[in-house]
Structure 1
Amino acid sequence: MLKKTRIATVLGFAGLSLLAGAAQAQVIKIDGSSTVYPITEAVAEEFQKAKKNAVKVTVGISGTGGGFKKFCRGETDFANASRPITAKEMEDCKAAGVQYVEMPVAFDALTVVINPKNTFLKEATVEEMKKLWEPAAQGKITKWNQVNPAWPDAPVKLFGAGADSGTFEYFTEAMVGKAKSSRGDYTASEDDNVLVQGVSRDVNAIGYFGYAYYAENQGKLKALPIVSPKTGKAVAPSAASVENGSYQPLSRPIFVYVKAASLEKPEVKEFVEFYMKNAAKLTAEVKYVPLPAAAYTGNLDHVNKKKLGSVFGGKNEIGITIDELMKREAKL
């Protein structure tokens, strides 16, 4: 009886110790863009390994807009964003007393994809994409030959980012001319894997999302070259075409925003340092385009000197190059 009591007592203390440990567990919360997710998730996995799971990093996918809503309410430490913070989001964060450091982490080649069995689409112009995706096309442009008479009399099946997505905002501004201006009769999802599956299963499908999801699924998708308005030449998405600035207007910087108050927590500061030291390697591994080394050291400098705010003034910019981004960040 005494032996059983001792065991029960020991187990009881062990249970209390475990509960105490769980209560003290360090958690870093991240949410936002599905485009940025592969980079941040890769960093989170490596960081947790390095910390031997003493710190838990959660990475959600609610879209850039959804991520900023949580971030500006103070619910997360980081926001993943596939476009800069908007003026409205800046106001929301200010109203809630949330200050932040903006950190560009990579460049993306936003990719228009078609089914590999599609034999008629070799390239597309911005004008053709606008005719296909603009609000006026809803319920009217339902066949390929309505966009271009040289294309077949076949139904168009559209797949794209959801309304809370930064990719949705960037694509519509770049292709249609106005952010969030899109036809509504398409299959929308914040989860890019849903869009991958949709396009891969229908020969008449077309969709768009971040380059990493295309690169991961090249066996069942085909990237559509886009005619650059600047040069008149059709250019396919690739690391090289992003680096030399020829893939326009769908090249774009992608970001991580960290809450200034969260930087007071040692585990968050350590995570930021780990992120910036490993970003180039992990960005390349998930098939985005790494920034020059100076961008990552610059981000750490901004964190250490508490340089708050955004260099974009609440506006998205179409067609910014890596060189232009670097010059701008250096002036913050």
Structure 2
Amino acid sequence: MAKKTNGVSRRSFMAGVATTGAVAAAGCTSNTGTETASGLSGNIDISGSSTVFPLAVAMRGEFTAEEMHPNVDISINSTGSGGGFTNYFCTGDTDFNNASRPISETEQEQCTNNDVTPVELKVATDALTVVVNNDASWFGEDGEECITVEDLAEVWAADSKPTTWSDVNSDWPDEEIQLYGPTDASGTFDYFHEEILGEETGHRTDYQSTEQDNQIINGVANSEYAIGYMGFAYYSENTDRVTALGIDNGDGCVKPTLETASSGEYQPLSRPLFTYPARSALAEDHVAEFARFWLENSTNKAIVADEVGYVPNTEAERDENLDRLDSAIEAESE
């Protein structure tokens, strides 16, 4: 298993996940939840969203620190929201699934058929970010770079499928569009598809798809005529390498920032982020304690905003989700 990322800077961590794609805590103990002299012990397996991945790793680092619960081993695998639900969580193979969109009816049905009861917990808010090359001057300059929702939809729609930028807007260059984005197992893909393209319009498939957001950054940074999208946290670590486009949803251009995501100005690409523990897993003390720790720290600006790059929960959101968690723990203990 890979070495824990406890105690490293987020920039160092993000560079590492570009090549590994998954991080697991060192050592594997049985999932017993037995207590030791130093506190709880046991193993926790987490699958799911690449967007929530860095937040989960940051919370793991805090939770498993020497002065906290060093004998709890937490394995985190970046599979995409849908890939995690379908292949790991709803089959009963992981304790949590991270997601950048709500669980679907199909996934919920799969979970139910396997006696898995997901507990939805909101852990942060993200500003899904559209990025272009720093030399893509046709979108504007000096912080004014912008695209309308209609033009963004035209770029990514399967039915229109333009090949050059001038196919979208005659004032733009007659150069081939190069596209980078998440796979269709990603919650980021699902959210972008729903909010930008709509249910009736297909998402084009002729693009470079990956579950590794840093590969999207690299592709866009290396091509003047490229465009891509991912969670805000990955862009925030690469502001010198790519340019974030503002989104004009009909009321003027709004740039993705923690402030505009928190205020609701950044529409339609501001979105909630979730983790879903399995209710049965919450019967284990170490699993329940980690879920509670994550929610209690979901309002922590130093971790959620400064270290990772997302909007923290409000105190009201934290308390609402803690109540939901406590109800699930209580139901499982009956």
* TM-score of the pair, normalised by structure 1: 0.82
Amino acid at match of 1:268: V
Note the aligned Cα RMSD (angstroms): 1.8
Pick one of 48, 57, 74 that aligns with 1:57.
74
Tell me by how many angstroms 1:118 deviates. 1.4
Change (3 A) 1:244 1:22: closer
89-98 vs 115-124, greater mean Cα deviation: 115-124
Amino acid at match of 2:70: N
1:156 equivalent in structure 2: 177
1:209 equivalent in structure 2: 230
- Cα-to-partner distance string for 1:136-158 (whole Å, 9 max, x where unaligned): 234xx111111001111111110
Contact in 2 for aligned 1:102/1:255 (Cα 8 Å): yes
Tell me by how many angstroms 1:27 deviates. 0.7
Q: 5 Å matches for 1:64-143?
A: 64-69=81-86, 70-121=88-139, 122-138=145-161, 141-143=162-164
1:167 equivalent in structure 2: 188
Amino acid at match of 1:45: G
Aligned residue for 2:97, secondary structure, equals strand
Tell me by how many angstroms 1:203 deviates. 1.0
Amino acid at match of 1:102: E
Tell me by how many angstroms 1:53 deviates. 2.7
- CA distance in 2: counterparts of 1:300 and 1:34, whole angstroms: 24
Q: 5 Å matches for 1:263-302?
A: 263-281=282-300, 282-284=303-305, 285-302=307-324
Alignment length, in residue pairs?
Answer: 284
Contact in 2 for aligned 1:131/1:147 (Cα 8 Å): yes
1:243 equivalent in structure 2: 262
- Cα-to-partner distance string for 1:276-309 (whole Å, 9 max, x where unaligned): 122222211211111101212221211111289x
Aligned residue for 2:190, secondary structure, equals helix
Contact in 1 for aligned 2:279/2:329 (Cα 8 Å): no
Amino acid at match of 1:299: N
2:51 equivalent in structure 1: 35
Contact in 1 for aligned 2:292/2:322 (Cα 8 Å): yes
Q: Which runs of 4+ in 1 moved over 6 A?
A: none
- CA distance in 2: counterparts of 1:211 and 1:180, whole angstroms: 25
Aligned residue for 1:219, secondary structure, equals coil
- CA distance in 1: counterparts of 2:116 and 2:295, whole angstroms: 22
Contact in 1 for aligned 2:49/2:186 (Cα 8 Å): yes
Aligned residue for 2:325, secondary structure, equals helix
Contact in 2 for aligned 1:242/1:289 (Cα 8 Å): yes
Contact in 1 for aligned 2:95/2:277 (Cα 8 Å): yes
Change (3 A) 1:147 1:267: same
Amino acid at match of 1:63: G
Aligned residue for 1:256, secondary structure, equals strand
Aligned residue for 1:218, secondary structure, equals coil
Aligned residue for 2:318, secondary structure, equals helix
- Cα-to-partner distance string for 1:49-101 (whole Å, 9 max, x where unaligned): 14453010011110000111111111111010000000101111111111121
1:221 equivalent in structure 2: 242
Aligned residue for 2:328, secondary structure, equals coil
Residue ranges of structure 2 left out of the alignment (5+ in a row):
1-27, 33-40, 140-144
Tell me by how many angstroms 1:178 deviates. 2.0
Contact in 2 for aligned 1:169/1:180 (Cα 8 Å): no
User: Whose relative contact order is higher, 1 or 2, with alpha carbons under 8 Å and at least 6 apart?
Assistant: 1
- Cα-to-partner distance string for 1:117-174 (whole Å, 9 max, x where unaligned): 2111131111111111111234xx1111110011111111100110100100110111
- CA distance in 2: counterparts of 1:200 and 1:179, whole angstroms: 32
Change (3 A) 1:173 1:277: same
- CA distance in 1: counterparts of 2:101 and 2:239, whole angstroms: 25
- CA distance in 1: counterparts of 2:201 and 2:60, whole angstroms: 31
Amino acid at match of 1:53: P
> Which protein is bigger by CA-based radius of gyration?
1
